[in-house]
Amino acid sequence: MRNALTCLMLAALGAAPALIEARTLRVAAWTRADRVLQADGLTARVNGEPAPVVRLQGPGEALMVLLVLDLVGDLNKIELAREGLVSAFSKAPRNLHLGILRAPGGLRVLLDPTDDHHAMARAIRGFPVSGAPALLETITGASGLADSIISDSPARVAVLYVTDSEIRNYREDFSNPVVNESDDRDLSRRFPEGLVRDRVARLSAMLAASQAPVFVVHLSYKTDRLDEAYQSGILQLASTTGGAAVFCRSDAEIPEAIRDMTGRIVSHYAVDIQAPSGSRGPLSVSLEAAAAGELDYRSRYH
């Protein structure tokens, strides 16, 4: 029985090429000035070709947020983040279900998606602060999970990372420290961001095919060259998925940044459009809705 079902499952997955042939793109979009985006009058183009809008879901419809906690450092900032998250999600509409995972040591579920605000608060306040940061190791996994859920149920799904990660604290060595102290004419470390840039570029290429937007709230703003490259990379990764990243320059900014980011997630429209058959390689998407005015949306896919 199990084998038969597995075969059925594989057969269903085997249908995926047809699905890819007529590829459905999930576009995260926002209206400006509180206008409402409606299906009527909404037109989409993929690589300049008209593309039918197969589904439009707005802020009033089902939303699942996958909250990934990547917090390993300053307890003060973490506590502010905890309270900011509890506050933000306690005011969330009932159509929002929050699932919580932690990143250090690999993605692990802390809370299944729920609209129970008390359960959310318990999970957020109770997770242990330990391990090494893992945003770069887990972001494709989290994004892939969200994409899988979208493929199973076309609800609105978004990923929200809350992180205090510093690039030097990763288990993998991105800082490329000096190996030979006696070699004082080493130029290879003049621009130390190379390894971070490589990893971000590779992740960015993977995320370019993702569907769910990824949002990142970073609890600190770093300006040393290596962390500058890291945080700039986070900004790129979030942008690639149609999401956004924000970096808090002060403790006071943390609750506000979380509130703003959850607000942005809640207010997003999920526009499912059908790419023309045979569309391959990079896809450029454009959306227009005269009634809604100017739109902010993800415009590039791979």
**Residues 109-148 within binding reach of other proteins (CB under 8 A):** 109, 112-113, 125-132, 141, 145, 148
List binders of other proteins among 211-270 (CB under 8 A).
221, 223, 225, 228-229, 231-232, 235-236, 238-240, 244-245, 249-253, 255-256
Radius of gyration of the chain measured on its C-alpha atoms: 20
* Amino acid at the residue 187: L
Per-position x/- string for 183-212, each x denoting binding to other proteins as judged by CB under 8 A, each - no binding: x-xxxx-xx-xxx-xx--xx-xxx-x----
- CA 265, 160, 175 angle in degrees (round to 5)? 140
Q: Can you say whether the dihedral through the CA atoms of 208, 142, 255, 72 is positive or negative? A: negative
38 binds other proteins per the rule CB under 8 A: no
- How far is Cα 140 from Cα 106, in angstroms, rounded to an integer? 12
Q: Which is nearer to other proteins, 98 or 292 (CB)?
A: 98
Assess contact for 196 and 174: CB atoms under 8 A: yes
**Contact region with other proteins (CB under 8 A), list: 29-37, 57-65, 158-166, 261-269:** 57-65
Q: Which is nearer to other proteins, 70 or 193 (CB)?
A: 193
Pairing mode, if any, of strands 156-163 and 108-114? unpaired
* Residue 25, beta-bridge partner list: 273
Interface pick for other proteins out of 43, 117, 121, 274 (rule CB under 8 A)? 274
**Contact region with other proteins (CB under 8 A), list: 27-35, 159-167, 182-190, 285-293:** 182-190
> Least distance (Å) from other proteins to the CB of residue 262?
16
CA 266 to chain centroid, in Å, comes to: 14
